Structure 1
Amino acid sequence: MYVGTQLSGGMLEEFGDAHLRQLAQLGLYHVCIDPIGAPRDWTRDLLARHIERVDAGGLKLDMVQLPLASLNIDTQNIDKVSSPAIVLGQGDERDRQIEGICRLIEDLAALGVHSAKYNFSYLGVPRTQSERGRGGALVPTFRADQITNADDLTSAGRVTADQFWERITYFLERVIPVAEANKVRLACHPNDPMTPPNYRGIEDSVISHVEGLKRFVSIAESPYHGLNFCQGTIGESLENPREEIADVIRWFGTRGKIFNVHFRNIKGKRFSFTEVFPDDGDMDMAHSLRVYKESGVDCMIMPDHVPEIDGQAPFETAFAFCYGYIIALFQANGWDPYGR
């Protein structure tokens, strides 16, 4: 268990190699990256170049984001979504896209990268109007009673819970055996957040809540099939996040189903919350970290979804605070946060 972070290819293009060096200077070593380009462009050579670039910055590529991040599906950007036929259940094209994912898993293993994460979502990350948090920071917010687009269907149309499960199962039954054969752990991010029934035509966002995630990890059971355990998203699905989160961590952690942790806090509960800094929310993050450790979790612990703050480098500053907070929690317990 060690501190880490995630980078998109777009971030690398915006911030450059200096950002990689900055991460190393802040004490990070392990990173996840989302390569630039369409899925068909993700060749072994491209992945090798990313590994070399990360290594040159003093870091290690620990995980890759698979091109299965079907976020914000709508009629305007459906062509920009990664591997849409998989989540839409579209026949032969679905099979071709799954084959591409399988080849990518094989390439990752050949290059020594043994973890990958992905999303299986129709709704993206719905939020209502942001609110003001500590010191006036702008905090992402979801209030179900403020939703204005509940009846606006996505390009997926109406999706029943049974259809959602069929598409998940179809994918997992074909991909998990390849992951197991290549010893690559696949970590699925829960749908963020749990939404009311039939929101935008989705009967139930089935992998946004604990009971659905328990069913999810039981499909195509394998030690290489688990979760990108987003503590923020899980907390968003609970009625009492502070009291309930430890038991949820233990359930998945002791079963070896946590492959990456988004160490994120919230204020609020199911259908009504804000996303805040890890020290400023309802969940006891120091206690949570101890529960991860006690449950045998072995993966990156990383920030996600920081508030928007003031200053000349608000994004980098906010994440730097989170890195320092996580490292301090490790050291307060006498644990090595670096995982080298």
Structure 2
Amino acid sequence: MKMAFRWYGEGNDSVTLHQIKQIPGVKTIVWALHNMLAGEEWPMEKILEVKRQVDPYGFNIDVVESVNVHEDIKLGLPSRDKYIENYKRTIEKLAKVGVKVICYNFMPVFDWIRTDLFKEHGDGSTSLFYEKSKVDDIDPMELVNRIANNRDYTMPGWEPERLENLTKLFDAYRDVSVEDLFNNLQYFLEAIIPVCEENDIKMAIHPDDPPWPIFGLPRIITNQENIRRVLKLVNSPYNGITLCSGALGANPNNDIVDMVREFADRIPFAHVRNVKVYENGDFIETSHRSQDGTVDMVGIMKAYHESGFNGYIRPDHGRHIWDEKCRPGYGLYDRALGIMYLLGIWDSLEQ
């Protein structure tokens, strides 16, 4: 297991590389060029700039999260081929600086969805919260304005430029079915996986968050059966999954431990975090401790250990604690606590 920490870059993150260096066990910085629009080819000079920033701290930059997929690829439009070519060239450039894994998602229009970025817990901490009834009743534009415009930091997946033509995008997806989305993903993978194989970079698709349809839009990375299908679309070890226990764990019917055991050799990258799911379908992100949520964190780490997992792993969304001012879900303190909890479980299994 290789412990990693997501970092949003100089000037775009409340957490510094100097601080991350002080978290025991972290060797990998998970990064991206967050100012690049989906579909654009990443410039080599910008990639090298990140490497120059990270190198003095002794971290590697093996994992990129994310190289976003253009909507035309998801929609299967004729224009997708030019964006796929840009994606291929970006893969080739990332290989030159040692990148081994690219995390990405295939969610139409929206990335992750929450209704409250700072829901208060009983202890005074806050975290990301999903209120099912609000999503069922809310106008999508109201949710966009709430998340995309009420922030101090950029929110990947909610960049204003990708949401400017929201009505047009909804119209474009009106006749796109689940089968269409699977077919369009297969087309994308068939085009890029040979390039990944040549450059020794694994693609790791992130589950839909939450793992069910939103606003009538199709979603496909939602459960064990669908993950199994995605991995068969192109049966290559370079076609993998970012197994996110929090995203999939929002549906209590998903058995994350069993997924780890089944897909272990196709999980180059893992997000391990906890959520507490309520009977009405609401969920809130908690500390990483098993006891604090619905997800069996100890069982998940045990499954990784018994599977001989040697991929990259990181704590995911943390609470906002000790009055920290940070990007929602991505502060220093609770994610550092999460790392120590995960490493503690792992160390206990090494005895």
TM-score by length of 1: 0.83
Query: 2: CA distance between counterparts of 1:144 and 1:211?
Result: 24
Residue 252, structure 1, aligned to residue 263, structure 2: yes
- Give the direction of change, closer, same or farther, for the CA distance of 1:264–1:49 in structure 2 (3 Å limit): same
- The residue number in structure 2 matching 1:262 is 271
- The residue number in structure 2 matching 1:87 is 74
Residues 166-315 of structure 1 mapped to structure 2, 5 A cutoff: 166-196=183-213, 199-202=214-217, 204-239=218-253, 244-253=255-264, 256-268=265-277, 271-279=281-289, 280-313=292-325, 315=331
Query: 2: CA distance between counterparts of 1:302 and 1:284?
Result: 16
- The residue number in structure 2 matching 1:144 is 132
Residues 65-76 of structure 1 mapped to structure 2, 5 A cutoff: 65-68=65-68
Given that 2:127 and 2:284 are in contact with CA atoms closer than 8 Å, whether structure 1 keeps it comes out as: yes
Note the C-alpha offset of 1:62.
1.5
Q: Which segment is superposed worse, 291-300 or 313-322?
A: 313-322
For structure 1, the 5+ residue unaligned runs are 70-82, 336-340
Pick from 160, 165, 177: which aligns with 1:160?
A: 177
Q: Which segment is superposed worse, 302-311 or 185-194?
A: 302-311
Q: Which segment is superposed worse, 172-181 or 109-118?
A: 109-118
Query: 2: CA distance between counterparts of 1:25 and 1:294?
Result: 28
For structure 2, the 5+ residue unaligned runs are 142-165
Note the C-alpha offset of 1:321.
1.5
Q: Which segment is superposed worse, 272-281 or 121-130?
A: 121-130
Identical residues among aligned pairs (%): 28
The SS at the match of 1:205 is: coil
Query: 2: CA distance between counterparts of 1:15 and 1:67?
Result: 19
Note the C-alpha offset of 1:216.
0.8
Structure 2 letter corresponding to 1:128: T
Structure 2 letter corresponding to 1:250: R
- Give the direction of change, closer, same or farther, for the CA distance of 1:6–1:226 in structure 2 (3 Å limit): same
Query: 2: CA distance between counterparts of 1:209 and 1:249?
Result: 12
Structure 1 letter corresponding to 2:188: F
Note the C-alpha offset of 1:312.
4.1
The SS at the match of 2:64 is: strand
Per-residue CA deviation, residues 6-63 of structure 1 (Å, 9 max, x unaligned), is 1223xx22348x8112111112211110124325462223212212211112211121
Note the C-alpha offset of 1:191.
0.8
- Give the direction of change, closer, same or farther, for the CA distance of 1:184–1:269 in structure 2 (3 Å limit): farther
- Give the direction of change, closer, same or farther, for the CA distance of 1:102–1:66 in structure 2 (3 Å limit): farther
Per-residue CA deviation, residues 109-168 of structure 1 (Å, 9 max, x unaligned), is 222222111111123212234643351322322243332237878624323112211221
Note the C-alpha offset of 1:208.
2.0
The SS at the match of 2:16 is: helix
Query: 1: CA distance between counterparts of 2:196 and 2:13?
Result: 32
TM-score by length of 2: 0.80
Note the C-alpha offset of 1:277.
1.1
Given that 1:63 and 1:114 are in contact with CA atoms closer than 8 Å, whether structure 2 keeps it comes out as: yes
The SS at the match of 1:206 is: coil
Structure 2 letter corresponding to 1:91: P
- Give the direction of change, closer, same or farther, for the CA distance of 1:211–1:150 in structure 2 (3 Å limit): farther
Residue 20, structure 1, aligned to residue 17, structure 2: yes
Pick from 30, 33, 39: which aligns with 2:31?
A: 33
- The residue number in structure 1 matching 2:8 is 8
Runs of 4+ in 1 over 4 A off after TM superposition: 150-154
The SS at the match of 1:64 is: strand
Structure 2 letter corresponding to 1:48: L
- The residue number in structure 2 matching 1:333 is 349
Supply the RMSD in Å over aligned alpha carbons.
2.4
**Alignment length (residue pairs):** 310
Structure 2 letter corresponding to 1:210: Q
- The residue number in structure 1 matching 2:145 is none
- Give the direction of change, closer, same or farther, for the CA distance of 1:37–1:14 in structure 2 (3 Å limit): closer
